[in-house]
Amino acid sequence: MTTTPLTVAVLGPGGVGGLIGGLLARDGHRVVCLAGERTAATVARDGLHVRSARFGEFTARVEAATELREPVDAAFVTVKATALAAALDRMPAQALGTGILVPLLNGLDHMALLRERYPAARVVAGTIRVEATRTAPGRIEHTSPFATVELGATDEPSSPVAEFAERLRHAGPDVTLRADETAMLWSKLSFLAPFALLTTRHASGIGTVRTEHRAELLAVLDEIGAVTRAIGAPADAQALLDSFDRVPGTMKSSMQRDVEAGRPTELDAIGGAVLRAADAHGVAAPTIARLVRDLAETANQ
């Protein structure tokens, strides 16, 4: 494996992008953060300041711009789904060069959009499991004991994605390669959708959901398991429930944090994606449909 530093663009240096960018920069790579003028100016001046129980507290010097103007080895897309279409104007396809593009977004629909806009073979499906929040421009709080990235690719050593995964792993996150992209994306959504919908609906951490609203949690897990199996991905209800029982009880979803801050939510990208798949495969998901409807009504009040 080469040890030459990479040049990596991060479109949207918020909680997830700021953490990934900060770790890569601390590990010696050149990181270019792409954001609006105010955020870009702050990050260029002050760097990315990360506070993490796992990775420590550090400030990483990075570059910042409002638009990508040169080829990179890799680019992460880490904006919210609600801001994706507008944000992509900051990263013209011709500027990306031959670099790989890794979206770490919630939901599923972004994959088709990105493969229409960029060379499809360069878009590598990705997921991340982490609780990280931007508290101010360039300031990141990583509050979960884990930061786990999955990339949709084979683990052949000669693969450019496999080499990139090793460089990313060296920077700090746990990184796994999965050849079945559909299974990977639905594995993430199968956890995220119940987590986001229920913590947001009940305005509580997951600990309260899994105790006071356990019957509802079990109903949602049954429904999303049925949808997952219908689309051809593996589903293990007991393993999924075990995951909910293991995570820290105080953990909140990003959707819940968005509601608390009065920001637009990713309700359609998360809950809507599940319901569209359920409808396409003729699977009943009444509990999920009710949660999505209730949250949409609340957002419109």
pLDDT of residue 159: 83
Evaluate whether residue 236 is within a structural domain: yes
For the residues 12-30, what does the mean pLDDT come to? 98
Query: Residue 30 sits in which domain range?
Result: 7-179
Report the alpha-carbon angle 98-104-106, nearest 5.
Answer: 140
The answer to whether the CB of 64 falls within 8 A of the CB of 40 is: yes
pLDDT at 154 over 80: yes
For a pLDDT cut of 70, what percent of the chain falls above it? Answer: 99
Domain at 236, CATH number: 1.10.1040.10
Domain at 142, CATH number: 3.40.50.720
Tell the residue number behind the tokens 């990075």, with chain if given.
Answer: 62
Q: Are 135 and 253 in the same domain?
A: no
pLDDT tens profile 181-239 = 999 999 999 999 999 999 999 999 999 999 999 999 999 999 999 999 999 999 998 99
Q: Are 105 and 166 in the same domain?
A: yes
Weakest-pLDDT range from 56-70, 126-140, 145-159: 145-159
Confidence category of residue 2, pLDDT binned at 50, 70, 90:
low
For the residues 31-50, what does the mean pLDDT come to? 98
Q: Are 207 and 229 in the same domain?
A: yes
Q: What is the CA radius of gyration of the chain?
A: 19
Evaluate whether residue 1 is within a structural domain: no
User: Which of 144, 179, 214 is the endpoint of a domain?
Assistant: 179
Domain total in the chain: 2
Instruction: Kindly state the tokens that stand for 29.
Output: 């790579």
Would the CA dihedral through 259, 88, 22, 125 be positive or negative?
Answer: positive
